């Protein structure tokens, strides 16, 4: 039995939605939405294609990450492979692979690309450090929360991807690992015997296509599957309240430092401890439903 993610993320016309409407319906109450065509007025909307990136910056070397089997409590830090950017783009267009390019600081290599887009005025407080994400067909971005707890606007420019979302109030039911922003749960193949709290989880899902921008509120869990080889870009805004802002700062400093240190000292024991604590918290959260 699959996890209940049948509720669709609502879709609005991003070319006509006003700031007042966006704040009232989605930003202030922290509800996800797909804003179709939000970036239509910017050159990037039609200019950024696979061929464009191959021709303009194909010679740079990029670090790639795959779905290797490792301690699933760890954030990927060491790449699986490196290759020229144009070779990688050809690979994800024409051949099977699991190699992804994420949090890619493309503007470091070609800063003039910043002239191809702006920051839509439906919201304020942008963190103007955009990143791009590239992936092949059927590759998976495992479920996680963004460590800085920012609000995310994820825009798809090429290909399709399925995004599954869970609100942060379901973190314990999702077996969130302490000192981490990941879970040991496999959303695609849930093991209800090992993770019985998943019986009470409810999520949302959507398929992003060219020109779709998904607003993911602060702390939302997300799982992504590339249905086609393609790429997107994310921009962020500061979290809506001080508790979340402090939470992001805590994650980036004390929490991550502690986690990295404990893995170096007691790698396997530390992971078992975190997993055991996540299971205890999930069982406690289940009592509200049983």
- Other beta carbons less than 10 A from residue 82's beta carbon: 10
119 to 29, 128, 226: CA distances (angstroms)? 21, 9, 25
Give me the residues paired with residue 134 across strands: 101, 231
- Does residue 124 sit in helix, strand or coil? coil
Give me the residues paired with residue 65 across strands: 100
> For residue 128, what are its two tokens?
């103007």
> For residue 49, what are its two tokens?
């294609």
Q: What is the mean pLDDT of each run of 10 residues along the chain (290 residues)?
A: 91 96 97 97 96 94 74 60 93 89 89 94 93 92 93 96 97 94 91 95 97 97 95 94 90 90 90 95 89
- Other beta carbons less than 10 A from residue 266's beta carbon: 12
Task: Give the position of tokens 């918290």.
Answer: 281
The confidence score (pLDDT) of residue 7 equals 95
Spatial separation of the C-alpha atoms in residues 140 and 161, rounded to whole Å: 10
The confidence score (pLDDT) of residue 105 equals 87
Query: Which of 270, 41, 62 lies closest to 178 in space, CA to CA?
Result: 270
- What is the 3-state composition of the chain as percent helix, strand, coil, each rounded to the nearest 5? 30, 30, 40
Spatial separation of the C-alpha atoms in residues 278 and 290, rounded to whole Å: 18
Query: Which of 201, 228, 233, 229 lies closest to 214 in space, CA to CA?
Result: 233
User: Which pTM was predicted?
Assistant: 0.93
- Does residue 288 sit in helix, strand or coil? coil
Spatial separation of the C-alpha atoms in residues 271 and 237, rounded to whole Å: 32
Give me the residues paired with residue 34 across strands: 11, 214
The confidence score (pLDDT) of residue 67 equals 66
Spatial separation of the C-alpha atoms in residues 98 and 48, rounded to whole Å: 23
> For residue 169, what are its two tokens?
């109030």
CATH level 3 topology of 4-286: Jelly Rolls (2.60.120)
The confidence score (pLDDT) of residue 69 equals 45
The confidence score (pLDDT) of residue 76 equals 52
The confidence score (pLDDT) of residue 266 equals 87
Spatial separation of the C-alpha atoms in residues 58 and 80, rounded to whole Å: 19
Domains of the chain, residue spans: 4-286
> For residue 131, what are its two tokens?
């990143």
């Amino acid at each position: 039995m699959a996890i209940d993610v049948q509720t669709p993320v609502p879709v609005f016309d991003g070319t006509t939605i006003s700031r007042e409407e966006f704040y009232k319906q989605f930003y202030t109450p922290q509800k996800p939405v797909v804003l179709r065509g939000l970036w239509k007025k910017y050159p990037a909307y039609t200019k950024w294609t696979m061929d464009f990136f191959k021709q303009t910056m194909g010679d740079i070397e990029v670090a790639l990450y795959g779905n290797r089997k490792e301690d699933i409590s760890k954030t990927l830090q060491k790449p699986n492979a490196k290759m020229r950017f144009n070779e990688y783009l050809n690979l994800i267009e024409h051949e099977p692979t699991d190699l992804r390019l994420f949090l890619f600081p493309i503007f470091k290599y070609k800063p003039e690309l910043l002239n191809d887009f702006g920051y839509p005025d439906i919201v304020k407080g942008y963190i103007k450090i955009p990143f791009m994400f590239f992936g092949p067909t059927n590759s998976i971005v495992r479920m996680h929360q963004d460590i800085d707890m920012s609000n995310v606007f994820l825009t798809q420019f090429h290909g399709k991807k399925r995004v599954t979302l869970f609100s942060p109030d379901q973190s314990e039911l999702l077996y969130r690992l302490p000192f981490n922003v990941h879970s040991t749960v496999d959303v695609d193949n849930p093991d209800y015997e090992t993770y019985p709290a998943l019986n009470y989880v409810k999520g949302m899902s959507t398929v992003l296509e060219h020109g779709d921008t998904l607003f993911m509120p602060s702390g939302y869990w997300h799982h992504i599957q590339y249905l086609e080889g393609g790429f997107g870009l994310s921009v962020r805004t500061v979290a809506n309240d001080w508790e979340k802002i402090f939470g992001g700062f805590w994650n980036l400093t004390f929490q991550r430092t502690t986690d990295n240190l404990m893995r170096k000292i007691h790698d396997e024991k530390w992971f078992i401890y975190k997993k055991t604590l996540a299971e205890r918290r999930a069982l406690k959260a289940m009592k509200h439903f049983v």
